[in-house]
Structure 1
Amino acid sequence: MAGASRDQALALLAAANNHGDLAVKLSSLRQAKDILLAVHPSFAAELFPYLVELQSSPETLVRKSLIEAIEEIGLKAMEHSSILVSVLLVFLRDGDSIIAKQSIVSGTNFFCSVLEELALQFHRHGKVERWLEELWVWMVKLKDAVLAIALGPGPFGVKILAMKFLETYVLHFTSDANDFEKSSIEGSGRAFNISWVVGGHPVLDPASLMSDANRIIGVLLTLLQSASSLSGCLTITVVNWK
């Protein structure tokens, strides 16, 4: 990172963390995010430890803005984003439902992007880089944490988003006739499907993932059978699963 940009970003992150005015904090974080997005990912990664220090901010809006920044920066600098994803897992259990919900939304986007990168990287290069394998481990932890939220006690709004995440998970790992070449190379915009990696992948095990998706379907069906114990919104969410 160029010296001037690095110093400016550090000063902005310090202001976002320590300034007494909330508006200044939010503006400083936004400006720091813009700098980190503008430089090469490897240079931006040097400041990630300073960025994640904001997770201890007492202001909800700062923490929410941090999650949004983590998603935007992390998806651009995916190779270096493990430290950022770890913050999302911490925020899943934040006492403020606004933070927990934003963590699930951003975590869902991360999960889908990592899956697509796993499939594309192996398809194009015949291998998967170590950093991507490590990032997938974080995605599995994310899925397990969101499943625990869906099944445990907590605010209805957070639980509904957790179930939406699980719906995405199940759809990704339910095989269909999607053709990987057409979907990924011709840019049809289709979401990842497990059929993309049927036939062998060094990280993704289709049989295991489809089995886990079926297990989660069973868990949600069990919840539906005990619908009297769920709120109306949660029951509708389960019923509306595709």
Structure 2
Amino acid sequence: MASSSRDQALSLFAAANNHGDVNVKLSSLTQAKDLLLSLDPSLSADLFPFFLELQSSPESLVRKLLIQLIEEIGFKAVDHSPALVSILLTFLRDADPIIVKQSIVSGTNIFCNVFVEMIVQFQQYGKVERWLEGVWMWMLKFKDAVFGIALEPGSAGIKLLGLKFLEIFVLLFTPDNNSPEKSTGEGSRQAANISWLVGGHPLLDPVALKSEANRTIGILLNLLQPGASLPGCLTITVINWVSWIEQVQLLVCFITLRHADQFLTRS
């Protein structure tokens, strides 16, 4: 049964790579993905190289679907996760803006999920597995690349998604008063932030991350300075984001001061 599924997956990958009809390619790729996820990881491991070959497909729709499938597969392909994530960096330099946009969107979601997974793993098991460390290293490279896209001249649509990543980056590394249990219970993994880092972490330094978030706010503010080359529509967007971020930070300061006042009163 497993051998039959493997052979079927290989046939589907071949169709996704070589068939002349783009609809057949897309259908074959989707079916191959479903087979990969249904197989035992030990049996599907040698199939992922065929999956990765699709990054050189000449059809933009195939490359876009590949990015979406990488996001969907997520941590189910543990041994291949770093290689899958590395494809996103390649696609950030794609000639087709649609591919670049999808790479930023999917990469942003993966970045948030990897951040949460690193915290949860350490809290539950007292360590972060090596494969996840590898994914995080690729995510930091992704962050640097998207920062460059957001700040360099280019397509307004692509820059908008890049700037959106900067906003999410700031919010992830700005503490609030939510606990991990509350956020997870509400089903909102993206509600995570450095407030979850209780008791230390081998790879995530809250002080350094908060400092980087503050530096990023400075970058956003510089984009609003006279003479900045930001298009008008993006200027309005950045103003809204900076205003929202500042409100969050003011709330954090208020909560911190209130707790300090209560402590002094009790003392």
TM range (shorter): over 0.9
Matched AA of 1:130: R
- Is the 8 Å Cα contact of residues 176 and 193 (structure 1) preserved in structure 2? yes
Kindly provide the CA deviation profile for residues 174-223 of structure 1, in whole angstroms up to 9, marking residues without a partner as x: 01112234333x44535111011143101111111111111111111101
Match of residue 209 from structure 1: 209
Give the distance between the partners of 2:113 and 2:228, measured in 1 at CA: 36
Give the aligned partner of residue 182 of structure 1: 182
What is the match of residue 234 of structure 2?
A: 234
Task: Report the CA distance between 1:93 and its aligned residue.
Answer: 1.1
Structure 1 residue 114 and structure 2 residue 114: aligned?
Answer: yes
Give, in whole Å, the separation in 1 of the partners of 2:90 and 2:77.
20
Against the structure 1 CA distance between its residues 168 and 43, is the aligned structure 2 distance closer, same or farther, given a 3 Å change threshold? farther
Which residue pairs with 2:135 in the alignment? 135
Q: Which residue type is aligned with residue 215 of structure 1?
A: R
* Conservation of the 8 A alpha-carbon contact between 1:92 and 1:104: yes
Q: Percent identity?
A: 66
Alpha-carbon separation, structure 2, partners of 1:9 and 1:188: 33
Alignment of 1:124 with 2:124, yes or no, is: yes
C-alpha deviation, 1:80, in angstroms: 3.0
Q: Which amino acid aligns with 1:81?
A: S
What 5-or-longer segments of structure 1 have no aligned partner? none
What corresponds to 1:44 in structure 2? 44
Q: Secondary structure at the match of 1:69?
A: helix
Alpha-carbon displacement from aligned partner over 1:47-95 (angstroms, at most 9, x marks no partner): 2211111111111111111111111113433453111101111001111
Distance 2:177 2:214 in 1: 18
Corresponding residue SS for 2:73: helix
1:18 equivalent to 2:24? Answer no
Name the structure 2 match of 1:105: 105
Question: For structure 2, which runs of at least 5 residues remain unmatched after alignment?
Answer: 245-267
Question: What is the DSSP-based 3-state SS (H/G/I as helix, E as strand, rest coil) of the residue aligned with 2:31?
Answer: helix
Corresponding residue of 1:92: 92
Tell me the SS of whatever aligns to 2:224. Answer: helix
Aligned equivalents of 1:172, 1:156: Cα separation in 2: 24
Q: Does 1:160 align with 2:157?
A: no
Deviations 1:9-42 (A, max 9, x none): 1111111111111111111111111111222344
Contact 1:37 1:73 in 2 (8 A): yes
Distance 1:127 1:75, change over 3 A: closer
Q: Which amino acid aligns with 1:73?
A: I
Q: Secondary structure at the match of 1:127?
A: coil
TM-score (norm 2): 0.85
Name the CA distance, whole Å, in 2 between partners of 1:124 and 1:230: 44
Q: Secondary structure at the match of 1:240?
A: helix
Contact map agreement 2:160 2:234 (CA 8 A) in 1 = yes
Q: CA deviation at 1:234?
A: 1.3
Alpha-carbon distance change, 179 to 103 in structure 1, aligned in 2, over 3 angstroms:
same
Cα RMSD for the two superposed structures: 1.7
Contact 2:100 2:158 in 1 (8 A): yes
Aligned length: 241
Q: CA offsets per residue over residues 102-147 of structure 1, 9 Å max, x none?
A: 0001001110110110111111111111111111101101100000
Moved more, 228-237 or 4-13: 228-237
Amino acid at match of 2:56: S
